[in-house]
Structure 1
Amino acid sequence: MPLFLILVTLLFAACEKDVSVNLPQQEPQLVVEGRFENGSYPLVILTHSLNYFSQIDPAVLTNAFVHNATVTVSDGSKTMTLKERVIDTGNMKFFVYLPDLTQPANNFTGKVPGTYTLRINADNKAYESVTTIPPRGMQLDSIWWTLVTVDDSTKARLWVKITDAPAFGNYGRYFTKRNSEPYLPGLNSVVDDQLVNGTTFEIPVDAGVNKNLNPDDRPDEFFEPGDTVTLKFCNIDKATWDFWRTLDFAYNSNGNPFSSPTKILGNVPGALGYWGGYTVTYKTIIISR
């Protein structure tokens, strides 16, 4: 072993010491996950944050949902009330806030472009956030696939062509759906026009992933011959892009000792999470066997 490495080894061995850190218990914060797509009703999920070392199981997750909140969405002229509903998956129950169907005259779907204000009263506190469903500054032109060889197996790589509008400040996020699976975002699910402004460009698109799975159990970024793939491409505003950009980075850096700390940039003052608008375009392709 070189002298330098021996000295470094001895130095760290001599300085080894058990360190016990007493982390204070944080007060739970409201966590907001709200989205509003063009042509659809808004959906809002409210939970309480958990401590870093909390043991996660279905019972803990179920208890984290926030009930009996007052939730409204306004477009500037009309205001609709969202009511709490339960979705039972069999494994656990999810609680979501959706438009009150008993007041259909007040309900409205998202439009392009549109500006929408979310107001929440929960835990004796008031929260407010504004998002936009933006114009299609990034236009999804086409999708196609190419065959690649991965570990002696034939796979398919998905490609897209996008045309960006001349003005700077366009942002996007994508999801993929494989056969009958749900729509899943990519590990790096957002794109912006900082380097491609006003151009037509082609980029490869990784298959979306279920981030609840252990990384070793996830499929790779490719698709299989015979798959029917639907790409969901969304134009989003900068605040929504900032949230998912920082969350994707934090998730992908988890466990990396050389990564820098990342602050998740939400857009709901006083709470964690985001209220985001999506201008959605779908394209489907069948990968030949």
Structure 2
Amino acid sequence: MRRSILAVTAAIFLSACEKKIDFDLDEQEPKLVVEGVIEAGQVPVFILSNSLDYFSEISPEILAGSFVRGADIRVSNGVTTHKLKEYSVPSPAGELYYYSVDSADLATAFAGEEGKSYQVTIESAGKTYNSSTTIPFLTKTIDSLWWKPSPNNPDTSLVIMMARVTDPPGFGNYIRFFNSTNGGPFNPGFNSVFDDQVVDGTTYDIEVEKGVDRNEEIDFETYSFFTRGDSVVMKFTNIDKVTFDFWRTMEYNYSSIGSPFSSPTKVLGNISNGALGYFGGYAVQYTTLVIPK
């Protein structure tokens, strides 16, 4: 009886302490969102869009309508400057737009090269934005790939992929990885960027997660495994610190969404004038592994 009285008293006390809090969130003007990439051996590619409010309705049609068109984008390698051209790709939700090399003006076009820096100037809606990036030399590399049965799923067809990686002496070697399975798209790992603070100057073995498409629901029981019979192409990239910081904070932000115990995370971009996003350079190594059935 005493326990029941104490429980009722506690419930009354706690309910009396409740306070209703209403948040009146101001609407924000859309900001330019930039995703710019230049890889060694590849031409630059940029996707521009407008940001949406936190509580905005989101649909494929709204996302397709957020693309920014008619921008003036000029990329320089320090010697030559090339104006990018706008292209479109059809999709079920509507046209998708991106900017890349103008095929009608190849005299000033160029591809990325290891060890070189690149600058971009974007003019859109009366504002000017700038950024720069570097493609580092490909010094941190994968020596080999292999597979082995998943230790927690010995009686299934699930396997894990392993990589042996060599990190050169000296801190500051940053990487990001992607993989493609059975000819599919290259998807990054759920945690795809790493520094060398622990592994500096060593050769080490590490498990490699299967890449994930964040537009689809992720099954956290099996998402990292490959399957017997898979043909996997590993895309292993060396990146600069700015690109590392962008994806490190972006992926932390992804993982903390919806958690009441997480801390707010500011995504560290490198676009000026208040724009969101990044311009990043990648040195790339491809390695293939065929997993027998």
TM-score, L = length of structure 1 = 0.94
| CA–CA distance in structure 2, aligned partners of residues 7 and 184 of structure 1 | 55
Report deviation, 1:154: 2.9
**One of 272, 283, 292 as aligned partner of 1:288:** 292
Matched-pair contact (CA < 8 Å) for 2:212–2:218: no
Matched-pair contact (CA < 8 Å) for 2:120–2:130: yes
| CA–CA distance in structure 2, aligned partners of residues 161 and 7 of structure 1 | 62
| CA–CA distance in structure 2, aligned partners of residues 194 and 165 of structure 1 | 12
Per the alignment, residue 36 of structure 1 pairs with 38
Per the alignment, residue 179 of structure 1 pairs with 182
Q: Deviations over 1:170-228 (max 9, x none)?
A: 10000011102100011100011011111111111111111011234995210000000
Structure 1 residues 15 and 284, CA gap change in structure 2 (3 angstroms): same
Q: What is the count of residue pairs matched by the alignment?
A: 289
| CA–CA distance in structure 2, aligned partners of residues 8 and 85 of structure 1 | 64
Matched, 1:269 2:269: no
- 2:56 maps to a residue whose letter is S
Matched-pair contact (CA < 8 Å) for 1:209–1:218: no
SS in structure 1 at match of 2:157? strand
Per the alignment, residue 117 of structure 1 pairs with 119
Q: Deviations over 1:8-56 (max 9, x none)?
A: 7554322223322110001110000000000001100000100001111
SS in structure 1 at match of 2:183? coil
SS in structure 2 at match of 1:153? coil
Per the alignment, residue 91 of structure 2 pairs with 89
| CA–CA distance in structure 1, aligned partners of residues 169 and 5 of structure 2 | 59
SS in structure 1 at match of 2:249? helix
TM-score, L = length of structure 2 = 0.93
| CA–CA distance in structure 2, aligned partners of residues 134 and 3 of structure 1 | 69
| CA–CA distance in structure 1, aligned partners of residues 32 and 223 of structure 2 | 34
Displacement over 4 Å in runs of 4+: 1-11, 216-219
Structure 1 residues 10 and 207, CA gap change in structure 2 (3 angstroms): farther
SS in structure 1 at match of 2:226? coil
Structure 2: which 5+ runs fail to align? none
1:1-289 equivalence runs, <5 A: 10-148=12-150, 149-150=152-153, 152-216=155-219, 220-270=223-273, 271-289=275-293
Percent of aligned pairs with the same amino acid: 43
Task: Answer with 90-99 or 179-188: which moved more.
Answer: 90-99
Structure 1: which 5+ runs fail to align? none
SS in structure 2 at match of 1:76? coil
Matched-pair contact (CA < 8 Å) for 2:175–2:195: yes
Structure 1 residues 263 and 10, CA gap change in structure 2 (3 angstroms): farther
Q: Which has the larger radius of gyration?
A: 2
